[in-house]
Structures are given as C-alpha cells and as structure tokens.
Structure 1
Amino acid sequence: MFEATPRLLVISPHLDDAVFGCGASLAGASRPRVCTVFTALPANDLHTDWDAQCGFTGALEAMTARIEEDKRALGVLGAAPYHLGFLDSQYAPDASESARPTRDAIAQALIDAIDEHRPDALLMPLGLFHSDHILVHEAACDAWLKRPDVPCYGYEEGLYRRMPGIVQQRMADLLERGIEATPYNPPLPAAAEMQRRDALKREAVRVYASQLKAFGDDGYDDVFMPERYWTLKLAEDRR
C-alpha cells in the first residue's frame, strides 16, 4: 500500500482515528508519522458523557490517558506521533473564544507540518459524519491546495464509513470544490505480510482500551474491515 513511501504523513482528527482507518498501512510503511489535531488538555476539568462512558471522571484524566494510549498504539505500528494541540469539540463550548479551533488555524498548522516533515505522501480523513472530522477534512483540503505537489490520498474513517451514503456525499463535495477522488487500489503484498500487518493493527487497536469500552464489544468491528483509500487530484479546470 504505502510501504514504498519513506515519509508518510497521516492526518488524524482524534487520538485513534489514524489507527482505526490506516493501521495496516502504518504497519507497512517505513517511517510513518501521525499528525493528530485534537490533543489539547482543556483548561477546566470538564465532565462529558463520552468521557464518562470511557470510564473517566473528568476531561484532564481522559485526555492524559488517551495521549498515553495513542503513543503506545503508534509504537506498536512503528509510527511517530505529532500533536497539533487543538481542543476537542466536546470541550470547546466551555472554552474561551480564542481557545476554540478554527478551520484557518488548523489549516495553517497542517501547512506548517507539511513544510516541516516534507512528506512523500499525505493521507487525510474524508471527514465523515463527526463535526471534528469534517472540520479537519476541510482544513486539510485547504492546506493541501496550498501544497498541491504533495501526493495526497483520502482515507475512510473506521466506524463512520459504514453509514449509508456518507462516502458518496463526500465524493460529491470534493468534486464541487475541484478535487477528483479515484479509488486507490495498489497491488497487495503477500498474504503473510498482510496477516502481519493486520495482526499489528489489531494489537494497536486494543491499546485504545478506554475508547473501546464506550463502543461496546461489537461496536468497533468495522475498523478491522479492509482499509479504503482514494487518490485525490486537482480537477483539470483547477490546474
């Protein structure tokens, strides 16, 4: 898949999305880096329903544990973390206006990450369903359009991609903004290598114990289905 890419940069909205959507590809890449957007610790120790379902008593405990889980999960796959430090939307309503993430701010941070790491390929989320995912996708498109020479691919986020019609709607949205999306179907590695990557991905997914607790025993099966990618290119009239 992306094993021939020495400098692979994967954009992840939250601390698990890259592994859920791209874990097998990360396991096969030589020096992958995961750039996660929403990694900030909230100023106040808020209490949200999602954190409670994950077994946490407050936001600070939750984010501290998630960052540690993510470091260990990426370590399983041989990937390096890179945190942008924006605030997750579940904590934003109680934050000051200046602390709330904006599309422009995220886009500039992603441009800076691209310039710093000089990737041979960029993987961005398609931005399916979740407001944080949509915001990161839009900002990632803005960033890539400023650096269009970098080969770019979209990945379907695990869990959300199974929602009826949601991927098709994203394809229409991309075309409307002048970006063509084509299924990316490279030759697959040998069966033994695919089994190795799948096993590593399963191991990495299990590290996100707090998140899996909230999904329930059968709530995250989709992340183990084959990963799907789209080649993104500027439409002819945008070049």
Structure 2
Amino acid sequence: MIDVSPRTLLISPHLDDAVFGCGASLAGNAGTLVCTVFTGCPAADVATDWDAHCGFANARQAMSARIEEDRRALGVLGATPLYLDFLDSQYVPHAPDASKPTPEKIARALLDAIDEHRPDALMIPLGLFHSDHALVHEAACEAWLRHPELSCIGYEESLYRCMRGLLQERLKDLSARGIDATPLNARPPAHADAERRDALKRRAVNAYESQLKAFGPDGYDDVFLPERFWTLQRAESGR
C-alpha cells in the first residue's frame, strides 16, 4: 500500500475497482476524489446475465443499488465519489450508437474533472483484461499527457492482475507510447496502521454485496493481497 494524497484524482472504471485495487491505500488519507467512469444506466428496460447473477431484475435496479454500495464503501475509506455517466460494456448493445463510450469521450470528461477539481496527481488503472478497463486506461493516459504538471501512478486492477501475461503486455504498450513504468516501492506503514487500513478495506469491499455474490466465496481473494502500483513518467527524449 501507499499513501494517497487528498489532492489525488483516482480514476476507477467500475463501481468497485478503486476499492478493490487501492482500498488500503485510500484508507490512509481522507478526502481523495474517486472518479468512476461507468455509472450510467440505459434507458431501455435491460436485463443482463451479470446483473441477474448479482440478484437484480434489470439494469436500473442494479445501477441504483451499486451506486449506493459504492457510496457506503467510499464512506468507510473517507473518499469522495464523482460519477461519470458512461454505459459499461454489458449495456452498450442495448443503447443507441451515440451512447457508445469512446476513449475520446471519456478523455474529455476526465479533462473536465481535472479542470474543475485541480488535483495534483492522478491514479489510473493499468487497463488489464476487461474492455472497459482498457478504454479507461487509454482515455486516462490521454488526459494525463495533456497535463504534464500532474504526477501519475498506475494501479494494478485486482482480479485481473494475476492473469498470465497481461501486465507484461501493458508495460510493453506503455513503453511503445513513450511512457516509462517503474514499480512504486513505498515505505510500508507501521504495523498497527497497516492493520487498520487492511481492516477498513475489508469493510469497504464487503459493502459491494451484489458483486461479491456474483464472484462467489473464493472468487475475489485477490483483492486482499498487497496492492501494487507503478510510477508513470514520460520517457526521456532521445531514448
């Protein structure tokens, strides 16, 4: 875990990714702004397999409950939510083409959030496995590269970071884009503080009752393993 400044804008693809990947680090300081991208709801009365596994009859019921779960989870950690209105991939096929999220649309929304809230640092997902995560990663990189004054940390998304080869592929992609990724090995907090943060993260994770139901009792063990981060920097010219 690391210490996250209250002046950080943490970008989360879905309603749980920030807590699953960074919850113990968020618990170190109150006030961090967590910007979740995919919190929109389709106008049509949509029922998806994932929402059914989570115990919901339709998307409207699911998104209402999931936002409430997220507010409870972030409240445990002392973080502040900011919700964008993009549709996640399970809803896109049931919405007009104009509603389809793109890296450009998401980047514009993130740039607006940066302009409004004026953070001094960004935390962005590495964009592992899930198409929504890859979209947000690309958009977040674009927003960051337009703000060279901001420091940037990439976080490994729990549940996906353990999949074979995904992290290595992302690091290659970053290098090809002119971005250096260096493991962030921060000094660990004192034992008592680490235990306190881990306990808060566990409480926050448990707030996502619907999602944990779908993962099953052993399907989310990875979220409680040590959080991992990368310092992202523009590559030096001439390399």
Please report the TM-score for the alignment, with normalisation by the length of structure 1.
0.97
Deviation at 1:16, TM superposition (A): 0.3
Partners of 2:6 and 2:33 within 8 A in 1:
no
1:236 pairs with 2:216: no
Match of 1:156 in 2: 156
Distance 1:31 1:64 in 2: 23
Could you list the structure 1 runs, at least 4 aligned residues long, displaced by more than 3 angstroms after superposition. 1-4
Match of 1:120 in 2: 120
Instruction: Say which SS state the counterpart of residue 106 (structure 2) adopts.
Output: helix
Written as runs of structure 1 = structure 2, the 5 A alignment for 1:140-155 is 140-155=140-155
1:221 pairs with 2:238: no
CA RMSD of aligned residues (A): 1.3
Instruction: Say which SS state the counterpart of residue 11 (structure 1) adopts.
Output: strand
Written as runs of structure 1 = structure 2, the 5 A alignment for 1:1-239 is 2-3=2-3, 5-237=5-237
Deviation at 1:120, TM superposition (A): 2.1
Question: Structure 1 pair 59/234, CA: closer, same or farther in 2 (3 Å)?
Answer: same
Range that drifts further, 25-34 or 213-222: 25-34
Percent identity, please: 67
Distance 2:10 2:76 in 1: 16
Question: Structure 1 pair 153/238, CA: closer, same or farther in 2 (3 Å)?
Answer: farther
Deviations 1:46-93 (A, max 9, x none): 111100110111111111100000000000000000011111110001
Instruction: Say which SS state the counterpart of residue 162 (structure 1) adopts.
Output: coil
Deviation at 1:5, TM superposition (A): 1.9
Deviation at 1:2, TM superposition (A): 4.8
Distance 2:125 2:4 in 1: 21
Partners of 2:2 and 2:188 within 8 A in 1:
no
Range that drifts further, 115-124 or 140-149: 115-124
Deviations 1:4-41 (A, max 9, x none): 62312110000000000000111002321100000111
Distance 1:8 1:146 in 2: 17
Deviation at 1:203, TM superposition (A): 0.2
Deviations 1:149-201 (A, max 9, x none): 10000000000000011111100000000000000011111000000000000
Deviation at 1:42, TM superposition (A): 1.1
Deviations 1:189-233 (A, max 9, x none): 100000000000000000000000000000000000000000000
Structure 1, unmatched stretches of 5+, are none
Instruction: Say which SS state the counterpart of residue 144 (structure 1) adopts.
Output: helix
Distance 1:126 1:29 in 2: 22
Structure 2, unmatched stretches of 5+, are none
Distance 2:69 2:136 in 1: 21
Partners of 2:30 and 2:77 within 8 A in 1:
no
Partners of 1:26 and 1:79 within 8 A in 2:
yes
Total equivalences in the alignment: 239
